[in-house]
Amino acid sequence: MPSSITWGLLLLAGLCCLVPGTLQASEHDQNLRQHPPLPNITPNLADLDFSLYHELARESYTTNIFFSPVSITIAFAILSLGTKGATHIQIPQGLNFNFKETVQTDIHKGLQHLLDSLNQPGDELQLTTSNILLIDENLKQVHKFLEDVRKLYHSQAFSINFGNIEEAKKEINKFIEKGIQGKMVDLVNELDNDTSLALVNYIFFHGKWKDKFEAGHLMEEDFQVDKKTTVKVLTINCLGLFDVRRIDVLSSCVLLQHYQGKVTAFLIMPDPGKMQQLEDMLSEKHLFNILRLIDRRFANLRLPKLSISGTYDLIKVLGNLGITKVFSNQADLLGITEEAALVVSKALHMAALTIDENGSEASGNTPLRDSGWYRHLTIRFDRPLLVIVKDESTNIPLFMGKVMNPTQK
């Protein structure tokens, strides 16, 4: 083994598929609602969500954004179990955990509770998180690190031959493809030659709308990207009761879309030219107020079919939040292996979102007035919007993103 080993850390946030449906969900566990299991770390994760979003938005004012803050948090919390010294302190602080209020043991226990909550079996939706450690077969491992990761994060550890990069990529992609049921394939197409360990973390969500509505037509309609740009997008048309409201303080129209199980999506469309203002203002407090103020209205909802994704190297993003040592020669990862110096050279995060129709018959450009829908209030999401997906029982943000252009790949 060389004296210095580079660890390519791969964070895969899996696939978020939000698929509209028509069935009613079962009632949530009332005790879980009345006694939130994560009172200590929920505010930290919510604040981190917006901090990460602002960092990504600075780089992407005109492009789509989509990421999973909880996936990033869990991956780096796992990594922190193998760190020492200043590196050990810097990661939780960069993830917005205050040591004066929350000791590291409580952070890991809270995240463990979160994983258990998200992975509850149910027929209403698929919400699965997983963590996989792939370690070079020649690397001498610190068993305490492996045991801590297994106990706290239910992570599996596998030996792999990183000496054969092509075979290693195939093995990593096999683990990912199996975990997310083949929804995304060959996600890892590059791997550094001196990689010795990979941490694969993903969260997979596949859900259906629980609200009943009348399935309508798929129509090609205009989406106003900006003052100068208009694109044609396929639009889902639904007639029914929807949680929607105009929020003047945000200069936005907000739609809450509930999914079977325990997940809610916030779709927030600001007035023309107000996206940056919304990004600067929006906070967890606003989301809480939206839940209080939302109105249930009978309307014709027109929502573009969406398929967006985001791929990010987190080194710069997390560096702006104060996590720097683990990516430098100052990294202290002796809790993982004592025989070599490890440096995290790559922290790759991937996430994807799909909003699609389910069971409705696409009928091209059939006019809506043929079915009489034109008589109802019509709510069009035909401009750039924010999307926030939250777990209702824990109030944890699972995904967050921005749709600037639905046709953008």
The string of DSSP letters for 351-369 reads: EEEEE---SPPP-TT--GG
pLDDT value of residue 351: 81
The pLDDT assigned to 35 comes to 42
Rounded CA separation 268/270 (Å): 6
Q: Supply the pLDDT for residue 17.
A: 44
Query: What is residue 192's three-state secondary structure?
Result: coil
Quickly state the pLDDT bin for 27 (edges 50, 70, 90).
Answer: very low
Average pLDDT value for residue range 10-39:
41
Question: How confident is the model over 255-271, as a mean pLDDT?
Answer: 87
Rounded to an integer, the average pLDDT of 223-229 is 93
Percent of the chain with pLDDT over 70: 77
Confidence of residue 5 (pLDDT cuts 50, 70, 90): very low
Query: What is residue 166's predicted lDDT score, i.e. its pLDDT?
Result: 87
Query: What class is the 211-304+379-403 domain?
Result: mainly beta
What are 48-101's pLDDT values in tens digits? Answer: 888 999 988 887 777 899 988 888 888 888 889 989 999 998 998 898 886 555
State residue 253's pLDDT score.
Answer: 93
What residues does 168 pair with on adjacent strands? Answer: none
CA distances (Å), 93 to each of 97, 117, 282, in order? Answer: 5, 24, 23
Mind listing the pLDDT tens digit for each residue in 94-144? 988 865 556 777 888 888 888 877 777 665 566 677 777 788 888 888 889
Residue 24 has pLDDT above 70, yes or no: no
Evaluate if residue 288 carries a pLDDT over 60.
yes
Spatial distance between the Cα atoms of 172 and 166, rounded to a whole number of angstroms = 10
User: CA-to-CA distance for 254 and 251, rounded, in angstroms?
Assistant: 10
From CA 265, how far away is CA 110, in angstroms rounded? 23
Q: What is the pLDDT of residue 232?
A: 95
Residue 316 to residue 337: CA distance in whole angstroms: 25
Task: For residues 337 and 83, give the distance between their C-alpha atoms in angstroms, rounded to a whole number.
Answer: 10
pLDDT tens by residue, 148-204: 988 888 887 788 888 888 888 888 888 777 766 666 666 677 777 777 777 777 777
Q: Return the structure tokens found at 211.
A: 């609200």
Q: What does the pLDDT average to over 231-248?
A: 88
The domain locations on the chain are 4-207+308-354, 211-304+379-403
Q: What is the pLDDT of residue 323?
A: 93
pLDDT for 322 beyond 60: yes
> What is the mean predicted confidence (pLDDT) over 300-319?
86
State the average pLDDT for the chain: 77
Q: What is the pLDDT of residue 164?
A: 86
User: Which CATH superfamily does the domain covering 4-207+308-354 fall into?
Assistant: Antithrombin, subunit I, domain 2 (3.30.497.10)
pLDDT (average), residues 251-271? 88
Confidence band (pLDDT; 50, 70, 90) for 384? very high
For range 326-333, the mean pLDDT: 87
Q: How confident is the model at residue 31 (pLDDT cuts 50, 70, 90)?
A: very low
pLDDT of residue 181: 64
Rg of the chain in Å (alpha carbons): 22
